[in-house]
Amino acid sequence: MRISDDFLSELKYKNDLSEIAGNYVRLKRRGRNLVGLCPFHGEKTPSFNIYTENGSFYCFGCGAGGDVITFIMKIENLDYMEAVRFLAQRAGMMMPEDSVDDSLSKLRTRVFEANREAARFYYQKLNEKEGVAALDYLHRRALSNSTIRRFGLGYAPNSRFALTDYLKRKGFTEAELVAANLVFKARSGKGVVDRFYDRVMFPIIDLRGNVIAFGGRIMSDQKPKYLNTSDTVAFSKSHNLFSLNNAKNAKEKFLILCEGYMDVIALNQAGFPQAVATLGTALTEEQALLMKRYCEEVVICYDADEAGQKATARAIEILRRVGLPARVLTVPDGKDPDEFIRNHGDKGPAIFRNILENSYNDVDYRLFKLQSSFDMNLPQSKMRFLNEAVKVVASLDNPMERDIYCSKLSDITDVSKESIKEQTDKLMRQKRRSERKTEFSNLQRVTSARDDRMNPQHQNNLRAVKAEENLIAFLVKNPDKRSYISQRLKPGDFVTDFNRKLYIYFSERMKDGLDPLLTISADFTPDEVSAIMRIIRPTEADTQTMKALDEYIKTIKEEHDKPSEQQIKESTMDEWVTMFGKEKNKRQ
C-alpha cells in the first residue's frame, strides 16, 4: 500500500529541506533561496540551489534535483522507503501501519541481517580452535584483543560450506545469501558455496552501524591476497569508506586516508581514530564528497612505492576538485603506518604524530617530488623542473596561492619571480581557453539534447519539447489553470512520451485537489525526479503569462500535426513512384 499524502505532507513539514541540507552543505541565502557547493559532485562555484517556496533543490552543475526525500535518498544512499523511515524517525513520527516495504527494501534488510549474522559467525570462529592461526596472525601484527573485538575481526573457516550451512540454519535463503555476495552459485550449478574461506575477515560497517560488506585476507599463498564483497543492494564500494563510522566522531577535524584495513586498525589502536581506507578501489569523487561532510582536511597516507605515489597524485586531484584541502604524509624508510608504528614500539604513536604534524600540503609535496627528480645544478635539468613546476602552480585557482608558490620557485631556482609568473600566467590563459572550449562543447551538447536519457525523443523534437516543458512548468506553478489547459490540450497532443506522462500525472493529481509534487519521490526514479526539477525550477516571469501559455499550446499542436520524417519520406517515395509511372506510360 502507498503512504498517504497526509503522512507525506506532515513528514515534509517537519523535515525542512533547508535545515536538513544545511547539515551536509554550507548554505548562503540568495534572495528567497539558498545556494551552496553541491554535495553530489565536486565543484568550486556554488550551483546547488534550494527553493524555499516549494521545498525542492536543483543543481545546475550535475542536474541532481528533488525534494527532501530525494535528498536523503541520494546523500545517505537509501531507497525510498528507507529515506521516509529515516525522516520519520528524525521527526518523531510513527510509520503508518498500512505502509509496507517494497521488495528492494525487504531484500536490503535481509542482506543487513545476513551480514550481521555472518560477522558474528566469523568472530566466533576466530576464537575457536580452527581460528588459532588467524588469531595468531593478528597478534603478530600487534593487535590487542580489545582492538580485535572493537573492529569485529573474524575468521572464515577453510571450508566452502561453513557459512552457508550456518546461515541456512538461521533461516536465510540461498537467494538472500547470493544477494549479499556472501555465497555464489557452485560451478556444478547445484547449490551455493561460501565466497570467503580461510581468510581473516574485516567487517565493513556503515555510518548507521549496519554491517554492509566484508574484506578478507587469505591465510595461504593463494591469490588474491585481499578479497572484498562485490557491490550489492546494501553496499557500493565507491560510496563507502572503511572505519568512517569510527572516524566521524573524532575530535580533530581531519581524516587520515590509508591504503588498507590493517593500516587503519593499527592507527586506531595507536590513538588515531581519524583513519579511513577505500575498499579495494582507488579513491572516487563520491568518497571524497563523503569525507568532506566529516572533516576540513585530508591527510593522504599511502605507501611510498610507485603504485602508492600514483594513487597519491590521483587522490590529490580528486580532493582538490571537491574543494577539500589535502596534506601528504610520507612514512620514513618506505614503511606503511602499521609496520612503522610496530617497529617503534611504545614510542611509535608519538613519532607518528610528529610526522603527521609536519606533513607537506599537497602543493609542497608535488613540488618536492618534482625537485627530487631533477639535478638542480644542471641548467637544462633545472629548466625541465621549472616547466613541470609551473604546471602545478598554474593548476591552483587561488591567485594568492599562485603568487606564494611563484615566490617559492624563484627562491629554489634563482630564476626571477617575474619570469616564473609570466610563464604561469601563460598556462593559466591556456587553461581558461580550454575550459571555455569545454563549456561551449557542453552547452552544444545540452542544446542539442543528445544526452537527454529521460526523454530520448528530445533530440529530434527540440521545438516541441521546449514548449512541452514550459507548459508543464506553468501547470505546476499555476494549478488554477488546469481546466483552461485541459480544454485546449489533450495528452495525445504531446509529441514526446516522457512529457506526456508528466502532463497526465500532474493533471490527475490537480484534478483530485492534490499537491502535484508531493509524491514524485515515490512515483518516479531519482533521475526522473531530477528531470522534473530541471523543468519546473524558477523561470523568468514572462514565461508564466497567459499569452505565453497560449503560445505553448499552439506550438505543441503544430509540432504534433507536423508530418514525421518517415511520413515525409513515404510521401516523397509515393510521388516518385507516381511520376515514374507516368513517364513509363508516355514511353509506351
CATH code of residue 553:
1.10.860.10
Query: Do 353 and 377 belong to one domain?
Result: no
Does position 137 have pLDDT exceeding 80, yes or no?
Answer: yes
Domain final residue, candidates 447, 474, 508:
447
Spatial neighbors of 493 by CB under 8 A, at least 6 apart, are: 556, 557, 560
Torsion 131-132-133-135 (CA) sign: positive
Domain boundary at 314, 332, 367, which? 367
Mention every residue, 6+ apart, whose C-beta is less than 8 A from residue 47: 35, 38, 59, 60, 61
- Any domain includes 71: yes
In 3D, which of 181, 355, 368 has the Cα closest to residue 280?
181
Cβ atoms 287, 255 nearer than 8 A: no
Same domain? 358 vs 388? no
Residue 148: pLDDT band by 50, 70, 90 thresholds? very high
CATH code, domain carrying 33: 3.90.580.10
* Number of domains composing the chain: 5
In the numeric block, which cell numbers belong to residue 192? 551455493
Give CA–CA dist 489/554, Å, rounded: 9
Per-residue cell: 308:
602508492
Q: Which cell numbers hold the place of 57?
A: 533543490
Q: Is residue 397 part of a domain?
A: yes
User: Does the residue 185 lie in any domain?
Assistant: yes
pLDDT, tens digit, for every residue of 38-57? 999 988 889 999 999 889 99
* One domain, residues 351 and 390: no
228: left (phi over 0), alpha (psi -120 to 50) or beta: beta
Does residue 228 carry a pLDDT above 70?
A: yes
CA distances from 361 to 195, 256, 320 (A): 41, 13, 12
Whether 83 and 147 share a structural domain:
no
Q: Is residue 142 part of a domain?
A: yes
Mean pLDDT, range 349-364, rounded to an integer: 94
Please give the average per-residue pLDDT across 444-458, as a whole number: 79
> What value does the mean pLDDT take over residues 107-134?
96
Q: Which of 38, 58, 91 is the last residue of a domain?
A: 91
CA distance 433 to 440: 10
Question: Euclidean distance between the first and final Cα of the chain, in Å?
Answer: 74
How far apart (Å, rounded) are the C-alpha atoms in residues 121 and 123? Answer: 6
| Residues 442, 507 within the same domain | no
DSSP-assigned letters across all residues of 471-506 = HHHHHHH-GGGHHHHHHH--GGG-SSHHHHHHHHHH
Q: Is residue 149 part of a domain?
A: yes
**Per-residue pLDDT at 429 exceeds 90:** yes
Is the pLDDT score of 574 beyond 60? no
Q: Which ranges of 1-79 does DSSP label H, i.e. alpha helix?
A: 5-14, 17-21, 68-75
Residues spanned by the domain of 499: 462-566
What's the CA gap between 560 and 494, in Å, rounded?
7
Three cell numbers, residue 189: 550449478
